[in-house]
Chains A and B, each alone.
Chain A
Amino acid sequence: MSEPPAILELRDLRVSLGGRRHWLRRAVPPVPAVGGVSFSVREGEILGLVGESGCGKTTLGRTVLGLQRETSGEIHLDGRLVSSAQPKRARVERNDIHYVHQDAAAALDPWWSIGRTLEEGLIIHGGRTAGERRARVREMLAAVGLDESVLPRYPHELSGGQLRRVTLARILVLQPRFIIFDEPTSGLDMSVQAMVLNLLLELRGRLGLTYLFISHDLSVVERFCDRVAIMYLGRIVELAPTGTLFAAPRHPYTRALLAAIPRLAPEPKRAGRLVQSEPPSTACLPAGCAFSNRCPHVKPACISTEPALENVLDHHVACWRWQELRSDARAA
């Protein structure tokens, strides 16, 4: 059985932020937000992108979307090269890709009603009459489980869960194939989270969508995503199918993350505590492995050379010592 085709492929993508020179202001040195990221997303799958604040996952998401221009590297959509383009052209070429922001309330213009906001995308892209637009909006409202009574309302009159559904409907009317979600469940109560996630799963099946799910919430990622990529300081350190990653994590950072999740059952301190409390600043990254200054298993080789992303049976790890650590863990 052949693998489903890759809808999105990234090759050695790098993004540096800042670094502009202005004749009136002091030059700002660029910050490497994303360094050498390569992976592909298969059609119909949900790929989770997990990392803590400052790891570059939002920058990566925006770069894939097209609003952020990459510094080097390639982005392929359906096999077509779509990188190296200004944001306006990039959005046109990648209009199969859409983005759902983290803060749903802030992502909506408070001046316009929900109905007008939902129609806006269709107005911009043209090609439909007013009646057709309204029909499409109603169709997507029903798909996300909202009642038509929200159409004349304004964003500040709706709840967090409703706003989340509105932002989802706004891009669904444009028939996307690939949706990037930036922390879609953050700030939502557990019960509302469940509703949103069930909705996303249902829509994926019904409309044949592919998701890039950016989150820092490992518990959600565990149950929602097909594959998970762990990101640390701009680099992918581990990428594997969800079950494998959570059952047998290979990278020390992944282990630390999993150990840090507050569980309902009180447990003794598990292995995987971090050495130092703070990651180094992105402006001055170490030459070798980005995690070296906090890793409990660091060796000289880790500090001098950056580990490449090795792929063994669809489980990618970027760590020099992952094999020895694995056998240690088994022996322990």
Chain B
Amino acid sequence: MVGIGPGLRREDKKVLAPSLSSCLITFLRRCTSVRILSKFVRDIPALIGLVIVFAAVIVAVIGPWVAPHPGDIVASHLLQRLKPPSAAFPFGTDNLGRDLLSRVILGTRGALEVAVIVVVLASVIGVPLGLIAGYASGWLSEGIMRITDVFLALPQLVLALALAQLLTPSLESAMIALALTYWPFFTRLVYAETRRLQASLFVDALRGIGAGSGLIIFFHILPNAISPVIVRGTIGMGFTILVAAVLGFLGMGATPPAPDWGLTISESRNYLPDAWWYATFPGLAILVTVLGFNLLGDGLRDLVDPRLRRSH
């Protein structure tokens, strides 16, 4: 088997960025193709997922302009504390009198930011490691995979908590902690795909015409291995929101007065079960968003199959 060492020339390293971007461009082009879209809309759950995610993104972007009381991030109106849902306050108010609807809306941005940053960071670490481990053999491959195994053996939440504690609790440290616990999933996925692909006939044919390892890995194995990563990453975004909410709940993530969903639920603990709206609405927001990402991720599975590429 051809090793990885000298094959990775300097020019090859520069091709990583164009390779990823070409994959992404092709992916986006495919998303807008009528044939694929019409197939997608027949898949009801995927459509629901897409709508939810789309709505969440919109809310995150235009949140500050849509929320009825945008100033409620910091302001407090103690006269209105713990009011049940009404016309003026559809989600009720919290213990500092802040409008929960606005806080839930404003919290969307934070949740999605965490999701995107964590997944992107985790894949930037995990995918190249998986590619290298899958393509190389011997101690390099074994070493990477055993380290990955160690990380996978530890429960993600516990590890994230420990790391967040080390880095002083904040949303940023939660993101780093989550990324550092999530990359092994991508590595293992990409490792399995790379192993399979590097034994395939077209890679053999490429070696036959003189392709170097770098070219093979980044231009041939990566595009074919990326589809499970996209699916997993989308579902992972949902999962990350959940774990970030747990971290927030435990006080290891966002800090008050941030409108973080998990933090809000944590704050609501003292006021349950009377102020039921305090925990319910942020909880519903988490539920719906995570569900949306899961459904979308499942629906994307068909979309990213390379065999669906057409030359229109």
Would A124 and B209 be within 8 Å (CB), given that A107-B201, A108-B202, A111-B223 are in contact? yes
Contact with A along B252-294 (1 / 0, CB 8 A): 0000000000000000000000000000000000000000000
CA distance A95 to B211 in the complex (A): 12
Would A109 and B202 be within 8 Å (CB), given that A121-B210, A124-B210, A124-B211 are in contact? yes
Q: Which of B168-208 contact A (CB under 8 A)?
A: 200-202, 204-208
CA distance A120 to B202 in the complex (A): 13
The contact size tier of chain B is: 20 to 34
B215 near A124: Cβ-Cβ < 8 Å: yes
Q: By CB atoms of chain B within 10 A, which of A110, A152, A156 has the most?
A: A110
Contact with A along B200-232 (1 / 0, CB 8 A): 111011111111100100001001100000000
CA distance A101 to B207 in the complex (A): 12
Contact with A along B1-21 (1 / 0, CB 8 A): 010001100000000000000
Indicate if A314 sits at the interface (CB-CB under 8 A).
no
Contacts of B77 in A (CB 8 A): none
CA distance A110 to B305 in the complex (A): 10
CA distance A95 to B306 in the complex (A): 31
| Interface hit among A3-11, A46-54, A166-174, A196-204 | A166-174
Q: Which of A104-132 contact B (CB under 8 A)?
A: 106-113, 120-121, 124-125
Closest to A123 in B: B215
Would A87 and B202 be within 8 Å (CB), given that A109-B220, A111-B220, A111-B309 are in contact? no
Residues of chain A at interface, number, CB under 8 A: 33
- Please give the distance in Å from B19's CB to the nearest CB on chain A: 11
Indicate if B42 sits at the interface (CB-CB under 8 A).
no
Indicate if A312 sits at the interface (CB-CB under 8 A).
no
- A110's partner among B7, B210, B212, B306 (CB-CB below 8 A) is B306
A157 near B310: Cβ-Cβ < 8 Å: yes
- Please give the distance in Å from B229's CB to the nearest CB on chain A: 14
- Please give the distance in Å from A52's CB to the nearest CB on chain B: 21
- Please give the distance in Å from A221's CB to the nearest CB on chain B: 23
- A120's partner among B211, B224, B311 (CB-CB below 8 A) is B211
CA distance A108 to B310 in the complex (A): 15
Would A107 and B211 be within 8 Å (CB), given that A87-B2, A113-B311, A157-B310 are in contact? no
Closest to A153 in B: B311
CA distance A109 to B200 in the complex (A): 9
Indicate if A99 sits at the interface (CB-CB under 8 A).
yes
Contact with A along B37-53 (1 / 0, CB 8 A): 00000000000000000
Would A111 and B7 be within 8 Å (CB), given that A87-B207, A124-B215 are in contact? no
A110 near B209: Cβ-Cβ < 8 Å: no
B309 near A154: Cβ-Cβ < 8 Å: yes
Would A88 and B7 be within 8 Å (CB), given that A65-B208, A98-B209, A101-B205 are in contact? yes
Contacts of B207 in A (CB 8 A): 67, 87, 91
B202 near A107: Cβ-Cβ < 8 Å: yes
A174 near B142: Cβ-Cβ < 8 Å: no
Indicate if B29 sits at the interface (CB-CB under 8 A).
no
Closest to B307 in A: A156
Contacts of A120 in B (CB 8 A): 206, 209, 211
A110 near B310: Cβ-Cβ < 8 Å: no
- Please give the distance in Å from B262's CB to the nearest CB on chain A: 40
B210 near A106: Cβ-Cβ < 8 Å: no
Contacts of A121 in B (CB 8 A): 209-210
Closest to B208 in A: A99
Contacts of B311 in A (CB 8 A): 113, 152-154, 157
- Please give the distance in Å from B144's CB to the nearest CB on chain A: 15
B200 near A92: Cβ-Cβ < 8 Å: no
Indicate if A190 sits at the interface (CB-CB under 8 A).
no
CA distance A195 to B205 in the complex (A): 23
Indicate if A1 sits at the interface (CB-CB under 8 A).
no
Closest to B200 in A: A106
Q: Which of A67-110 contact B (CB under 8 A)?
A: 67, 87-88, 91-92, 95, 98-99, 101, 103, 106-110
- Please give the distance in Å from A117's CB to the nearest CB on chain B: 9
- Please give the distance in Å from A293's CB to the nearest CB on chain B: 33
- Please give the distance in Å from A130's CB to the nearest CB on chain B: 15
A154 near B209: Cβ-Cβ < 8 Å: no
Q: By CB atoms of chain A within 10 A, which of B142, B207, B223 has the most?
A: B207
Contact with B along A230-269 (1 / 0, CB 8 A): 0000000000000000000000000000000000000000
Closest to B305 in A: A110
Indicate if A313 sits at the interface (CB-CB under 8 A).
no
Q: By CB atoms of chain A within 10 A, which of B142, B200, B224, B306 has the most?
A: B306
CA distance A156 to B310 in the complex (A): 9
CA distance A170 to B208 in the complex (A): 11
Closest to B216 in A: A109
Contacts of A156 in B (CB 8 A): 307, 309
CA distance A106 to B197 in the complex (A): 11
Contacts of A171 in B (CB 8 A): 209
Closest to A24 in B: B142
B2 near A111: Cβ-Cβ < 8 Å: no
Closest to A87 in B: B2
User: What 3 A-B pairs are tightest by C-beta distance, nearest first?
Assistant: A106-B201, A111-B223, A107-B205
Q: Which residues of A contact B (CB under 8 A)?
A: 24, 65, 67, 87-88, 91-92, 95, 98-99, 101, 103, 106-113, 120-121, 124-125, 152-154, 156-157, 167, 170-171, 174
Beyond A88-B2, A91-B207, A101-B205, 14 additional contacts (C-beta under 8 Å) are: A87-B2, A87-B207, A88-B6, A88-B7, A91-B210, A95-B210, A99-B205, A109-B220, A111-B223, A111-B306, A112-B223, A120-B206, A124-B211, A174-B209
Q: List 20 A-B contacts (CB under 8 A).
A: A67-B207, A67-B208, A87-B207, A88-B2, A88-B7, A99-B205, A101-B205, A103-B201, A106-B201, A107-B202, A108-B202, A109-B202, A110-B202, A120-B209, A153-B311, A156-B309, A157-B310, A167-B205, A171-B209, A174-B209
